[in-house]
Amino acid sequence: MYSAMLVEDEDDLRGTYKAMKTWGRNGFSITSEAENGVRALELLEKVSVDVVFTDIRMPLMDGITLMKQAAEKYPGLLFVFVSAHHNFEYAREGIHLGAVDYLVKPVLESDLEAALSKVCTHLRNQNKNGMNGLAEKLFQDSDMEGDLMMVKLCDYLWENIHRQLTMEDVAEVMGMNKDYIGRRVKLRTGHTFRNFYNQIKMEYAKQLIKQGTYKVYEVSDLLGYASPDHFSQIFKSVVQMTPASYKKLGKV
């Protein structure tokens, strides 16, 4: 699930936005709120989010200034602007700076749904690049360069990181024999498919735990594990410490 921050100086509007069902339907959770850009920057020091939905005209710091300052510290953080018709020139500047979309007040749920669809596309593209980089980081001594099958495999695993996949699932989607996939993974990485898959999932779990946004049982749920105990067992076997210990380590 993706995390979103709402930045809006009017409490009732924040409540209206939060109540819209389209967030959950599109895989988003509102994990933080702020009443102005200054407070939003303070929160971004403590929590990690995928996208910021922000009003443009606010006291203390407007949305444009927030985006400019946040972009310097948090590359890849996405923005969607919300404002009235007469502030379109500000919105134009935001789009020029790289905002994903611009919503006009009053925001309709259908408009929010369309914006979330655009955000999802951006995040999936970012995640594909992140998956390939993650694979290189984890298996830097392996020979995966130029291997189209491994690139497709990594992309598929990343896009479905919240599911529990078997080699049979992967083989069916990729139209290949599961034994062939297992041999190719072993050849390219030196690991069995299950070990390769577990290391990728646990590396992502480490990122989620470091963010500090999710509890351990929530990370387990986000990665598709049937129980936190099962997740913790696999995490410990890969990382050599429990998720709780790893979380404490990040606070030292």
Per-residue pLDDT tens digits for 73-86: 887 789 999 887 66
Same domain, 188 and 226: yes
188 Cβ partners below 8 Å, 6+ apart?
139, 142, 143, 144, 147, 150
- Asked if residue 101 belongs to a domain, the reply is yes
Q: Domain end: 87, 122, 157, which one?
A: 122
Whether residues 72 and 183 share a domain: the answer is: no
Show which of 62, 87, 122 is a domain's final residue.
Answer: 122
Whether residues 149 and 181 share a domain: the answer is yes
d(CA 53, CA 42): 16
Do 172 and 80 lie in a common domain? no
Structural domain of residue 216, as residue ranges? Answer: 139-251
In this structure, is residue 79 part of a structural domain? yes
Q: In this predicted structure, what is the pLDDT of residue 246? A: 92
CB atoms within 10 A of CB 68: 13
pLDDT of residue 252: 41
Instruction: Using the predicted structure, report yes or no on whether residue 131 has a pLDDT greater than 90.
Output: no
Instruction: Look at residue 54 and tell me if it is in a domain.
Output: yes
The arithmetic mean of pLDDT across residues 208-213, rounded, is 77
Q: Do 199 and 160 reside in the same domain of the chain?
A: yes
153-181 average pLDDT score: 86
pLDDT over 90 for what percent of the chain? 31
> Is residue 128 a contact partner of residue 155, using CB atoms and an 8 Å limit?
yes
| Cα separation, 205 vs 209, whole angstroms | 6
Are residues 243 and 148 part of one domain? Answer: yes
The answer on 174 and 77 residing in a single domain is no
Count of structural domains, the chain: 2
Q: Are 23 and 116 in contact (CB under 8 A)?
A: yes
pLDDT at residue 157 greater than cutoff 80 = yes
Report the pLDDT value the prediction gives residue 35, as an integer from 0 to 100: 93
Higher pLDDT, 152 or 240: 240
Domain membership of residue 39 (yes or no) is yes
**87 found inside a domain:** yes
Same domain membership, residue 146 and residue 55: no
Q: Domain boundary at 68, 87, 122, which?
A: 122
CATH number for position 45: 3.40.50.2300
**Do 111 and 164 sit in the same domain of this protein?**
no
Q: How many CB atoms lie within 10 A of CB 241?
A: 13
Confidence at residue 38, expressed as pLDDT on a 0 to 100 scale: 95
